[in-house]
Amino acid sequence: MPPSPPDLGPAPYLITREQSPPNLEFPFRNLNARVTPTASFYVRSHFPTPFLTAEDWSLTVGGAVTRPLRLGLAELRALPARTLTATMECAGNGRVFLTPRRRGVAWELGAVGTAEWTGVPLSKVLERAGLLGTACEVVLEGADRGTLTDPLPTPGDIPYARSVPLDKALGDVLLAYRMNGEALTPNHGFPVRAVVPGWYGMASVKWLTSVQVTAEPFQGYFQTVDYAYWETRDGLPPQLRPIGAMEVKATIARPAPHEEVPCDAVYEVAGAAWAGETDVARVEVSVDGGCTWREAEFLDPPTPHVWRRWRFAWHTPIRPGRRTLVARATDARDRTQPGAHDPARGGYMITHPLPVEVDVRERSP
Ligand SMILES: Nc1nc2c(c(=O)[nH]1)N[C@H]1C(S)=C(S)[C@@H](COP(=O)(O)O)O[C@H]1N2
Ligand SMILES: [Mo]
């Protein structure tokens, strides 16, 4: 007989990691849908939420373009729209499991979610503005601003801004005004945010008010001081690179860490896996701390930029004791997860498999 499902608590809700600015985490053990309801979608904000109005909002498009322009919300909405589903993960997701501890919000597993985004392709807006031949990056800036001291003091009051390379900007970046079929909520960037499919969340600028085409790589705080890492390649000196595409990763939703699991039962191990700009090809699960692996079954088809939920029927041990579960994913280009966290990544891009320890218990009579 299958065990009764774990008590998931009231749904939907978010774990408060920081009250203000709001930094809220999805309790990942509640994963039960391909698309995360907006009320359960994590929130990552560096500055207080700016409360913008649809009437007053406008988007400035300038820089290395032939026709700088300004668009109101009605004008943006009048352009041909697209809807796409994309998984977004904060680059610091899983940070709390690193030793030694790293600076930054103490995310467990749930700074990740999947939503259906509707908006105008950034390429359409850039087409209207006309790119100059010198164009190399597109800087996206939000209406939120403030000062920070961590990891370094900001040069006074700064806005949140990030750039994307021109090919990505002309590819699939969306200027989204709907999330899961509704207007964006204030915390998720009302009225318009960028969605950069397949990239860590920091690129998907919320409360977007400015798009500037540049002829030089952007050197902003969130590009070079924060959300950057030292890339080491054989024979080359380390190079500071802005964080970009998400890397392949599988996460276990159930059992949750330290959950009690009945012995001699069939327990459905469940989770999700994502791989940034490519597809997840395979997920394997180990119920013996990584000694032996078996393939999990997918609940979702491979879809660009969207996680695939997976499950694995675990016949739990006959006798009580501690067990360690691990999951690992491989992407369509045959890349898999690293065995350990690379310290050069700091508190970001945490993709090594995270073991989940459980207590196998005698079944209650
Ligand atoms: N304007 C602005 N955009 C932002 C941020 C921010 O602080 N300000 N945080 C970024 C980070 S680090 C992440 S992970 C995502 C989170 O998006 P969400 O809050 O809708 O989940 O927004 C990104 N866009
Ligand atoms: Mo993030």
Q: What is the number of the ligand closest to the CA of 113? A: 1
Among 15, 18, 44, 226, which residue has the most ligand 1 atoms within 8 Å of its CB, making it the best to mutate? 44
- Measured CA to CA, the distance from residue 107 to residue 115 in angstroms comes to 20
Residue identified by tokens 């078996």 is: 294
| pLDDT in the model for residue 123 | 98
- Kind of pairing between the strands at 228-231 and 239-242: antiparallel
Torsions phi, psi for 259 (to 5 deg): -65, 150
Report the nearest atom of ligand 1 relative to the CA of 141.
Answer: 1
| pLDDT in the model for residue 363 | 79
Average pLDDT over residues 230-250: 92
Among 88, 180, 206, 222, which residue has the most ligand 1 atoms within 8 Å of its CB, making it the best to mutate? 206
Report the nearest atom of ligand 1 relative to the CA of 179.
Answer: 20
DSSP state of 191: T
Residue 353 has pLDDT above 50, yes or no: yes
3-class DSSP assignment, residue 337: coil
**Centre of ligand 2 from the C-alpha of residue 58, in Å:** 25
pLDDT digits (tens, 9 = 90+) for 253-291: 999 999 999 999 999 999 999 999 999 999 999 999 999
| pLDDT in the model for residue 234 | 83
* pTM beyond 0.85: yes
Determine contact, residues 126/213, Cβ cutoff 8 Å: yes
Three-state SS string across 135-184, please? CCEEEEEEEEEECCCCCCCCCCCEEEEEEEEHHHHHCCCEEEEEECCEEC
Residue 365 has pLDDT above 50, yes or no: yes
Which residues have CB under 8 Å from 47's CB, separation 6+? 21, 144, 145, 146, 160
Of 30, 34, 29, give the one whose Cα is nearest residue 303: 34
How are strands ordered across the β-sheet holding 69-72?
A: 69-72, 58-63, 208-214, 137-146, 158-165
Which residues have CB under 8 Å from 167's CB, separation 6+? none
Average pLDDT over residues 157-164: 98
| pLDDT in the model for residue 233 | 82
**Centre of ligand 2 from the C-alpha of residue 68, in Å:** 30
If pLDDT is split at 50, 70 and 90, which confidence band does 55 have?
very high
Report the nearest atom of ligand 1 relative to the CA of 207.
Answer: 1
- Measured CA to CA, the distance from residue 114 to residue 116 in angstroms comes to 7
Residue 5 has pLDDT above 70, yes or no: no
| pLDDT in the model for residue 8 | 46
> How much of the chain is in helix, strand and coil states, percent to nearest 5?
10, 40, 50
Q: Whose CA is nearest to atom 9 of ligand 1?
A: 45
CATH 2.60.40.650 range(s) for the chain read 249-361
Of 187, 160, 177, give the one whose Cα is nearest residue 42: 187
Tokens read off for 356:
């989940």
CATH 2.60.40.650 fits 249-361, yes or no: yes
If pLDDT is split at 50, 70 and 90, which confidence band does 231 have?
confident
Assign domain 15-242 to a CATH class.
alpha beta
Among 49, 204, 207, 222, which residue has the most ligand 1 atoms within 8 Å of its CB, making it the best to mutate? 204
DSSP state of 81: P
Return mean pLDDT, the chain. Answer: 95
Q: Which residues, judged by CB distance below 6 Å to any ligand atom, belong to the binding site of ligand 1?
A: 41-46, 90, 142, 144, 160, 188, 201-202, 204-207
Residue 242 has pLDDT above 60, yes or no: yes
pLDDT digits (tens, 9 = 90+) for 21-46: 999 999 999 999 999 999 999 999 99
Determine contact, residues 166/145, Cβ cutoff 8 Å: no
If pLDDT is split at 50, 70 and 90, which confidence band does 15 have?
very high
Residues near ion ligand 2 (Cβ under 5 Å): 44, 90, 201-202
| pLDDT in the model for residue 180 | 98
| pLDDT in the model for residue 232 | 81
Cα torsion through 139, 145, 151, 153, rounded to 10:
110
If pLDDT is split at 50, 70 and 90, which confidence band does 238 have?
confident
CATH 3.90.420.10 range(s) for the chain read 15-242
DSSP state of 125: H
Residue 7 has pLDDT above 70, yes or no: no
